[in-house]
Structures are given as structure tokens and as C-alpha cells.
Amino acid sequence: MFHLLPYRDLPEDFAERHRSVWVTIPSELYDPARGAELYNESLDELEYAAALGFDGVCVNEHHSNGYGLMPSPNLMAAALARRTKDVALLVLGNSVALYSPPIRVAEEFAMLDCLSGGRLIAGFPVGTSQDTSFAYSANPATLRDRYYEAVDLIMEAWTRPEVFSFDGQFTQMRYVNIWPRPLQKPHPPVWIPGGGSIETWGWTLEKDFLYAYLSYFGYKRAQKVMDGFWRTADEKGVERNPYHAAFLQLVVVGKSASEIEERYGPHCEYFFNKMLHVWPGFREAPGYRTIDTIKAGLLGQTGSFGDRPPSLRWRDLLDQGNVVAGTPGQVVEQLEHVAKSLHIGHLLLLNQIGSMPHELALENIRLTATEVLPKLRPIWDGQWEDRWWLRPEAARVHATV
Amino acid sequence: MNRRLLPLRNKFEVELLEAGKGPPLVYLHGIWDADEQAWLERLAAERRVLAPRLPGFGASTGERHLLDIHDLIYFGLDLLDALGFEGGPLVGHCLGGMLAAELAAVQPGRFSHLALMAPFGLWNPACPAPDFFSAAPDEVEGWLARGQAKPVLLTPNDEEQAIQAALARAKSMSAAARYLWPLPNHGLKKRAHRISAPTLVIWGERDGICPPQYAYDFQQLLRGARLEVLPELGHLPHVQQPDKIARLLGSFLA
């Protein structure tokens, strides 16, 4: 289960009154007392998902952002490590280009792997333009090169047994020697969360990392991106193992269409119309995307700067596949279609959406975990090896009190 | 005007505009893809104008080798060598003004005169310059030429040309970000005391990109600099009124 930790109480007229939910969101909209509740409720939700049988719980890094209150996902994962036993902890991830030196991430991820008894899945996103270049001031023109170098350094720090020096373009270190070391060998599985930049595909495949396409716009629009990923795999002679890819989908489960619309509809609309109300100029710091990716985008769309997506209603969200909604049977059927059409072996499900109250989120999690997941799990059984999941030989050590 | 590609250090190809006869003058452009033809022609009336495009701008390549302001400064020194520029006036606008000031600090003996038009290079917290990197095009147009109706940027009507212009713009703003992100202050203040060439600072009073307060900050930093703050003009004074600015410059160089 994927969790963003959204701020659930933005005012009704937020999108009309404010330029962006990200980077410049006014601090007076944040109530710390409410924040304290949200952090604890969100951890409860993730722990509940773990207890009911989700294979993994997933946290992620965002900054200056009303829809994601986890500047440090590692703190969340540390809390989860002590309160869960068998579930995978997916930190998707740490924006490695933001940390100087980036071995801070190698160390913290190694700590999390030890704390959890070998349950960490390590995510290395380039990071959004909003997070990296605007909220954290990283130079967008060099961000991607800095990112590649940081990932190389972390992988070396995890796997090379000797003390070594590193002479990079962005990081120089006389002594690289991290204590602790990750429990999983040779290292925790590495997932690369991406937003559809075409240059990420080839690199991810070359490194044999998993590609996780994080889109809020549903499986229908994801087809083009995932087709592009698999075509790149073909070109590189990499087999189309569905476990090599993951996809994020918003899901709500209920009893009937009208009940679902009534209970979940407003919270999903809140997510799309308020939480994604991002100033277009923040999405695209100059140099964040390569000219090739910009070209691919420009040729495929006619929108110009400043075009905000139109306000979306519940019906639109269903029609476009942004939200998969229905009875357990209907959701199973749709998610099977998602997995097969995108050819993915790992589904990340967002069950806490927008302004959804805690009790309703728990209900959605329960229905998904107990009535949907058992039927989805066997989809690819016996056909492929999952080389991007927890290394089973790692000792499962955990809290004893 | 003559246009050619100048190879440099096996890393760069520099697009060079050349015009006029006589003693050389080097002009370094800003980041806006504005139409500077009239301006360069005025300058070329009395001198040989050398106007290279910086890496990432126009047809010039090699920006990935330039990671920070120091790389840019040393690129600039190599470029002057490649141009055979031994001495004479150095003129810069916007980012080009910032680079011109840096070069004049590194090699103070090389330049007979320094002219800076709305240069970047300083940050004044009492007068923060706006974030043009994230702003909408109409906001940027407004800041470039406040109160002026005529657009100062090149905006083709043809769709294919507009796409090419958008790509070129993405590329040049990305190159600009290398030296202007997150703020346009990359340490010039620590080096400016070395500048010894007579200096002219030109600023449009309606400049919303580099607010005119910075004109006074530059004047204070470069003691003895002559300052011209021009009413009615914005961030691109030489594009808006090429005759007037060329005359001002001419009298400074005379």
C-alpha cells in the first residue's frame, strides 16, 4: 500500500485562491495539531495494511507540499520497522541528488534494512522538479548527472568491502566506508520511481533496477509510458519479466456504485482538484527534462504553458481510469486488466486518497487487503522469477517487546 | 553580418556573429533569445563587433562541460584567446554582463572599457529579483518591458517554428540555470574589487527582471562606475532602443 500522507483540510476555495499546492503553499493553512493527528493516523493505516496482508507498505519523499507530508520518508520507515514484522518497507524513495554527500542515504537505508530485519526496498528517484529544484534549490541543469553519480556512489558504498576513495564530478570523498552495512546481500532491491522521462528507462534496465511508474492519471494513460519501457527492454535484449516493473493506481472498494460515489467521490475529487493544483512553472525547472523528452511531449500535445487541467468530477475519474472503483469483484477484474495490459508484476495501490477520513481509509484498506489482494496475487505465478523483491535469506529480526 | 562556428578545446562549437571593421569590441548576450540584430548593426558601424553565443544558446554547444561560474569564466578566457582579442572594450547584457564583470575581474589589464547592461551577479534581499525561471511567459514579458505593449521576445506564429522556438528556449534557459540557479549571485561581489577598467552601467528604470535598485548596488560595488538609469526602458534597453544605447556606449568609448 502506497501512502502520500496528504493534508486533508485544505479550504474549499484553495485552488481559486492559491497559486500552488507545492513550493509556495501558505504556511497558515497548516495546523500543527492537525498534523500530529495525520502523522499518527497515517502510520496506523500503513500498519493496518501490513497486519491485513499487504505485501509491502510504501512511503516517499516530498518537500513544501500539501499533498505529501513526508520530507523524510526514512523517519516513517523507521517507525514502521519497529511496529511491523514481515511486510516489505518500500521507501520510494530518497532523492539522492539532494544529499551531500549522498552516502547519507546509503547509511540510512542500511540502518533501515538492519532495523527491519532485511525488509527494505530502496527507491532512488531523480525527484520531481518541484521538490528538487524549487523546494531544495538543486540546479536543474546538473540534477540528472548528479543523480546518476550519487546512485553509483551508494551502490559502491554498499557493495565494495574495502575502504575506498571517490572522485566524482559532484562528490569527492577521501574515505568511503559506511557502518552499518545493509543486511540484504548484495544489497536491498533497488526500485527507480519515475514519472515518464524516457531517458530513465534505458538506464534502469542497464542497471537491472526495477522501474516503478508513479502516475496519478491511471492505467489508461500509462499504456504509452509502459509500452515505451518494454520496447526499450526489447531493444536492450532484456526479457519482458513483469516483475521488472511496478505501477501506482488509486483504488477504492465498496458495496455499490452509488455508495462508492457518495462516500469516496468527494475525497478523490479533492485529490485531483486541490492536491494536484501545482503551478505549471514549478513542474518544469529549465533542464530538468532533456530536450528529447520535451520534444516527445511537445509533439504529442497542444497545451501551452499555464493550461491547468480542467476540474475533474467523479465520473471523469472513473472514465479516464484515474481511480479504479467498484465492488471487490469489479476491482479485481479491473486490476487484473491493469497488470496484464501494462505487463507489471508489482501493483502499488493508493488507498488513502485526498481528504479521505481515517475510518473510511481503514475500511478501504480492509476491503482491498481481504477481498481483492488474495485474488490478484497469483496472476504471474510460476511464469517469472521476481528478482526485485526482498532477499529471502536475510534474517527476519524484529522487535521483541 | 557574418556567422560562423568556432571550434574550441575539442569540447565546444561557438556560434560567432561578426560584423564591422576597425578595433574589436566583444559583446556577450543575455538569456532571452531577443532580436539583437539592430543593436549589433549599430555597434558595427564604428567597430569590429565579435558577438559569440554562449554554450547552450543558439547553435553553440558544450554546455554540459560547464558546471558552475568558474567553468564559465575559464571558458570565457579561452574564447577571448580563440577570438584573438588582445584588448579593447567588453560589453555584456544580463548573464553576459555578469560574465563580462567576472572576466574583467580575472584579467583586469585586458579590457580598455567595461559596459554592463542590466547585469546579473548580485542579490539584494531588500529587493529580491523575481523567479523568472518558474514564471509564465506573459509574466516574463511584463517584467522584461513593464508598461510597453510590444513583445520583446521572438514568438513565431507558425506552429512548427513555435515548437522549434520552444525547444531552443528550453535549451537556453537550461544553460542559463547553470549559472543563475537558484539565485543570480555566484560570488561576483568577492572578486569585483579587481575590476580596473573604466565602467559604464546601463539600466532600464522599468526593468522587472533585474530591478533598478541593482544599478545602484553595482555602482557602489564598482567605485567610479558611470551609471545611466533610463526612464521608459525595461530589461532589454538595447533591443528597445538600439540607437540610443549605441550612442550612449559610443560616447563612453570615445
- CATH number where A74 lies: 3.20.20.30
Q: Is the pLDDT of residue B25 over 90?
A: yes
Q: Is the pLDDT of residue A318 over 90?
A: yes
State the pLDDT at residue A305: 59
**Ordered domains of chain B (ranges, CATH):** 2-253 (3.40.50.1820)
* A285 reaches B (C-beta below 8 A): yes
The more confident residue out of A259 and B161 is A259
Compute the nearest-CA separation of A286 from chain B (Å).
4
The amino acid at residue A233 is A
At A291, the pLDDT band (50, 70, 90 cuts) reads confident
Q: Which of B67, B137, B167 sits opposite A169 (nearest CB)?
A: B67
The answer to whether position A390 is within a domain reads: no
CB A23 within 8 A of CB A282: yes
* A282 reaches B (C-beta below 8 A): yes
State the pLDDT at residue B149: 60
* Average pLDDT for A176-205: 93
Contact state of A140 with B174 under an 8 Å Cβ cutoff:
yes
Give dist(CA A373, CA A367) in Å, integer. 9
What does the H/E/C string look like for chain A? CECCCCCCCCCCCHHHHCCCCECCCCHHHCCHHHHHHHHHHHHHHHHHHHHCCCCEEEECCCCCECCCCCCCHHHHHHHHHHHCCCCEEEECCCCHHHCCCCHHHHHHHHHHHHHCCCCEEEECCCCCHHHHHHHCCCCCCCHHHHHHHHHHHHHHHHHCCCCEEEECCCCEEEEECCCCCCCCCCCCCEEEEECCCHHHHHHHHHCCCEEEECCCCHHHHHHHHHHHHHHHHHHCCCCCCHHHEEEEEEEEECCCHHHHHHHHHHHHHHHHHHHCCCCHHHHCCCCCCCHHHHHHHHHHCCCCCCCCCCCCCHHHHHHCCCEEEECHHHHHHHHHHHHHHHCCCEEEEECCCCCCCHHHHHHHHHHHHHHHHHHHHHHHCCCCCCCCCCCCCCCCCCCCC
State the pLDDT at residue B215: 98
For an interface test with B, give the residue of A143, A278, A294 to mutate (most B CBs within 10 A). A294
The answer to whether position A5 is within a domain reads: no
State the pLDDT at residue A115: 96
Give dist(CA B252, CA B254) in Å, integer. 6
* A169 reaches B (C-beta below 8 A): yes
pLDDT > 70: percent of chain A = 96
Task: Check the CA dihedral A378-A379-A380-A386 and report its sign.
Answer: negative
User: For B188-212, what is each residue's pLDDT tens digit?
Assistant: 999 999 999 999 999 999 999 999 9
State the pLDDT at residue A348: 98
Compute the nearest-CA separation of B130 from chain A (Å).
13
Give dist(CA B2, CA A35) in Å, integer. 63
The answer to whether position A86 is within a domain reads: yes
Q: Is the pLDDT of residue A302 over 50?
A: no
Q: b/e string for B151-163 if b means 16 or more Cβ within 10 A?
A: ebbeeeeeeeeee
Q: Is the pLDDT of residue A300 over 70?
A: no
User: For A152-169, what is each residue's pLDDT tens digit?
Assistant: 999 999 999 999 999 999
Nearest residue in B to A292, CA atom: B167
CB A198 within 8 A of CB A228: yes
> For residue B108, how many other CB atoms are within 10 A of its CB?
14
Joined together, the cell numbers standing for residue A147 give 543523480
Give dist(CA B88, CA B107) in Å, integer. 12
Q: Is the pLDDT of residue A401 over 80?
A: no
State the pLDDT at residue A392: 78
A134 contacts in chain B (CB < 8 Å): 134
CA angle, residues B196, B202, B203, in degrees to nearest 5: 135
* Average pLDDT for A54-78: 97
B175 contacts in chain A (CB < 8 Å): 141, 287
For A232, residues 6+ apart whose C-beta sits below 8 A from its C-beta are A198, A201, A202, A205
* Average pLDDT for A239-248: 98
* B69 reaches A (C-beta below 8 A): no
Give dist(CA A66, CA A36) in Å, integer. 15
The answer to whether position A181 is within a domain reads: yes
Cis, peptide link before residue A93, omega less than 30° from 0: yes
Q: Is the pLDDT of residue A301 over 70?
A: no
Helix H or strand E encompassing B102? helix B95-106
The answer to whether position A389 is within a domain reads: no
State the pLDDT at residue A391: 87
Task: Show which of residues 130-149 on chain A sit within 8 Å of chain B, judged by CB atoms.
Answer: 133-134, 137, 139-142, 145
Q: Which of B64, B67, B133 sits opposite A285 (nearest CB)?
A: B133
Give dist(CA A132, CA A197) in Å, integer. 15
State the pLDDT at residue A303: 45
B178 contacts in chain A (CB < 8 Å): 139, 141-142, 287
> For residue A392, how many other CB atoms are within 10 A of its CB?
8
Question: How many domains would you assign to chain A?
Answer: 1
Q: Which of A145, A279, A298 sits opposite B166 (nearest CB)?
A: A298
Strand partners, A122: A91, A190
> For residue A224, how many other CB atoms are within 10 A of its CB?
12
The answer to whether position A385 is within a domain reads: no
At A299, the pLDDT band (50, 70, 90 cuts) reads low
Task: Show which of residues 158-187 on chain B sit within 8 Å of chain A, judged by CB atoms.
Answer: 163, 166-167, 170-171, 173-178, 181-182
State the pLDDT at residue A310: 75
* A301 reaches B (C-beta below 8 A): no
CB A64 within 8 A of CB A22: yes
State the pLDDT at residue A397: 77
* Average pLDDT for A373-400: 88
Nearest residue in A to B132, CA atom: A281
The answer to whether position A109 is within a domain reads: yes
* B59 reaches A (C-beta below 8 A): no
State the pLDDT at residue A262: 98
* Average pLDDT for B175-184: 97
State the pLDDT at residue A77: 98
The answer to whether position A7 is within a domain reads: no
User: For B43-76, what is each residue's pLDDT tens digit?
Assistant: 999 999 999 999 999 999 999 999 999 999 999 9
At A399, the pLDDT band (50, 70, 90 cuts) reads confident
The amino acid at residue B93 is H
Per the structure, the complete domain to which residue A318 belongs is given by 14-380
CB burial of residue B243 (10 Å; 0-12, 13-18, 19+): exposed
For an interface test with B, give the residue of A143, A293, A298, A299 to mutate (most B CBs within 10 A). A298
Give dist(CA B92, CA A289) in Å, integer. 29
Give dist(CA B163, CA A47) in Å, integer. 49
* Average pLDDT for B4-12: 96
Joined together, the cell numbers standing for residue A233 give 527492454
Cis, peptide link before residue A180, omega less than 30° from 0: yes
A305 contacts in chain B (CB < 8 Å): 136-137
Contact state of B67 with A281 under an 8 Å Cβ cutoff:
no
* Average pLDDT for B11-31: 97
| B27 SS3 class | strand
Contact state of A285 with B182 under an 8 Å Cβ cutoff:
no
* B124 reaches A (C-beta below 8 A): no
Closest CA to A246 of A356, A121, A144: A121
Helix H or strand E encompassing B8? strand B2-8
Contact state of B67 with A142 under an 8 Å Cβ cutoff:
yes
